[in-house]
């Protein structure tokens, strides 16, 4: 049981710090929060739950599809890049949530990442954030032609697609857990 | 040629490659985590198609959603068809999108920009 208390503390800390998690929880309409083991089976469950909810609330088709598409990329990024517990670290549960405010839907994810992967991921996100619609289209086309599927999913074409569909700048942070691992948090807005 | 008939699931599309009834279609949702495994029979079929091409071949692509990994695989399929086309086979790709789905229309336009084969984009 000791393990689970470590998990929840370390998983919530970066979120509360960076995205003011509790404030979001209080002020915004949170549609979904999941914390735990991610797999393709679970992804399907979260996707179908969200889809039903959006349909029930008569969310406009294009917006609903954008949220769904971005959600697929975020969830598969988490489930494909799982880090198992080792002697050096207790695995921190990944988090995924969807918030809903007046202007946007907000998709937030938070998961463990090897420190070695940070520079590339950071430079990729900074690159997509620096581009306009046309620049993103060109980068996407280039990445799709050159991209090898063995490449880490999150650092490549997936992030470009998220940026294109969101039409907003991606917000992110890295918080170091130890010399090997950090928590990577990503916040994506989809304007209504 | 071998007939391929795969039923749709929650995260994989229906695939029909049927040279007897002349139906070639990929439709539904393409969101598998391992796209290479899912599309392996399709790529294998296309290798055979390249050896014994069928004139007036029409592939319909009617997707509701696809993930970026699938987007790469779809490009591989189109590039393979482009090769066959450039070798002299009459063929066409029909890309379908829902009227309300501007992203899917745009996705079709982007494929048509980079692949050199007859490519028809149709609303349904």
| pLDDT tens by residue, A87-115 | 777 788 899 999 998 899 999 999 999 99
Could you tell me the end-to-end alpha-carbon distance of chain B, in angstroms, rounded to an integer? 30
Q: What pLDDT, on the 0 to 100 scale, is given for residue A47?
A: 97
Please list, residue by residue across B78-95, b when 16 or more beta carbons sit within 10 angstroms of its beta carbon and e when fewer do. bebbbebbeeebebebbb
Weakly modelled stretches of chain B, pLDDT under 70 = none
From chain A, pick out residues whose CB is under 8 angstroms from the CB of B31: 47, 72, 76
C-alpha A45: how far from its chain's center? 17
Show residues of chain B in contact with A147, CB under 8 Å.
72
Q: A181 to chain B, minimum CA–CA distance in Å?
A: 24
The answer to whether the Cβ–Cβ distance between A73 and B10 falls below 8 Å is: no
Using DSSP's 3-state secondary structure scheme, residue B70 falls into: helix
Q: What is the mean pLDDT of residues A143-149?
A: 74
Q: Which of A49, A76, A154 to mutate to test the interface with B (most CBs of B within 10 A)?
A: A76
The pLDDT, as a whole number, for residue A4 is 35
Cβ-defined contact of B35 to A141 (cutoff 8 Å): no
B66, closest residue in chain A (CA to CA): A69
Q: 């890309």: which residue's tokens?
A: B95
- Give the rounded percent of residues in chain A with a pLDDT score beyond 90: 64
- With CB atoms and an 8 Å threshold, state whether A144 touches B75: yes
Which of A25-29, A162-166, B46-50 has the lowest average pLDDT? A25-29
ipTM for the assembly: 0.93
Q: Do B33 and A161 touch (CB under 8 A)?
A: no
Instruction: Indicate the pLDDT class of residue A15, thresholds 50, 70 and 90.
Output: low
8 A C-beta contact, residue B78 and residue B117: yes
For B10, name the nearest residue in chain A, comparing CA atoms only.
A44
Q: How many CB pairs under 8 A join A and B?
A: 62
């Amino acid at each position: 049981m000791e393990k689970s208390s470590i998990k929840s503390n370390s998983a919530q800390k970066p979120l509360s710090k960076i995205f003011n998690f509790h404030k979001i929880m209080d002020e915004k309409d949170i549609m979904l929060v999941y914390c735990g083991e991610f797999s393709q089976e679970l992804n399907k469950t979260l996707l179908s739950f969200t889809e039903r909810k959006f349909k029930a609330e008569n969310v406009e088709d294009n917006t609903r599809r954008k949220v769904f598409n971005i959600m697929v990329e975020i969830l598969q990024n988490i489930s494909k890049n799982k880090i198992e517990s080792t002697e050096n670290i207790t695995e921190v549960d990944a988090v995924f949530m969807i918030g809903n405010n007046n202007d946007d839907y907000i998709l937030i994810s938070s998961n463990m990442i090897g420190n070695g992967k940070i520079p590339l991921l950071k430079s990729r996100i900074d690159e997509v954030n620096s581009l306009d619609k046309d620049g993103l289209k060109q980068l996407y086309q280039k990445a799709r032609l050159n991209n090898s599927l063995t490449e880490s999913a999150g650092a490549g074409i997936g992030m470009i697609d998220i940026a294109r569909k969101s039409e907003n700048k991606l917000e992110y942070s890295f918080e170091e857990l130890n010399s090997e691992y950090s928590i990577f948090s990503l916040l994506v807005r989809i304007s209504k | 040629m071998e007939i391929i008939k795969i039923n749709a699931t929650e995260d994989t599309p229906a695939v029909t490659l049927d040279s007897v009834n002349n139906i070639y279609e990929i439709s539904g949702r393409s969101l598998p985590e391992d796209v290479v495994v899912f599309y392996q029979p399709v790529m294998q079929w296309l290798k055979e198609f390249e050896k014994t091409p069928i004139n007036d071949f029409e592939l319909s692509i009617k997707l509701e959603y696809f993930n970026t990994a699938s987007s790469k695989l779809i490009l591989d399929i189109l590039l393979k068809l482009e090769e066959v086309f450039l070798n002299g086979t009459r063929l066409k790709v029909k890309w379908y999108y829902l009227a309300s789905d501007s992203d899917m229309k745009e996705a079709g336009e982007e494929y048509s920009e980079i692949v050199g084969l007859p490519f028809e984009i149709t609303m349904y």
